[in-house]
Amino acid sequence: MSDKYGIIHISVYNFMGHASYRMTMEKLKRGQKLCKSCNGVNAARSSKCKHCNKTFINKNTPVKNEIKDWKSLETGQQIKIIQGSGPYFVCSTDSEDHSSGEKVYMGCKGKYEVREIRPNGILCCGIGKKNTGIEFVYMGERKISPSTGIIKAPHRIVKLRTRKRK
Ligand SMILES: [Zn+2]
């Protein structure tokens, strides 16, 4: 896994009272995570950013435009996976990249176009820069896979605005 770097914010006020920021890049250490909003470094388990106060998404955080009735999605609808949702495993020991107890998400990420609704999820085609293939977006019940210990949790998705086709 590649090294992740975060920005440490140090606010400095000049004589006019305006805030300016000095930024230094620092390698993320074990047990730290980046704020997606300001790139500030935080403790992995903190619930909001200590730099910009943004709340980190967890399964209880409501998200605007979240789709709950995914079975009624139509083919061609574009969706986005909410970060921090979908299948994951929980690290049992500390490692160079993760701390024990940290959730590592291994499901779908990014933007997709709906192809087909299946009983347990959505067959989608990736429309991002990194995801271009057909992928299955799991939407079934939360359950632990006994063989791998992976927690199969449903993805959370939001609708993307789609241009109307004529
Ligand atoms: Zn932040």
Residue 62 makes CB contacts below 8 A (sequence gap 6+) with: none
**How many angstroms separate the alpha carbon of residue 52 from the centre of ligand 1?**
4
- Which is nearest to 68 in space by CA: 136, 160, 140, 158? 158
For residue 51, the CA-to-ligand 1 centroid distance in Å is 5
Ligand 1 center to 33 CA (angstroms): 10
Beta partners for residue 122, in sequence order: 117, 137
User: How far apart are the CA of 69 and the centre of ligand 1, in A?
Assistant: 31
Tokens, residue 22: 């000095």
Confidence bin at 2 (pLDDT 50/70/90)? very low
Distance from Cα 149 to the centre of ligand 1, integer Å: 32
Separation of CA 41 and ligand 1 centre (Å): 8
Mean predicted lDDT score pLDDT of the chain? 81
Asked if the model's pLDDT at residue 44 lies above 90, the reply is: no
User: How many other CB atoms are there within 10 angstroms of residue 161's CB atom?
Assistant: 7
pLDDT band at 33, cuts 50/70/90? confident
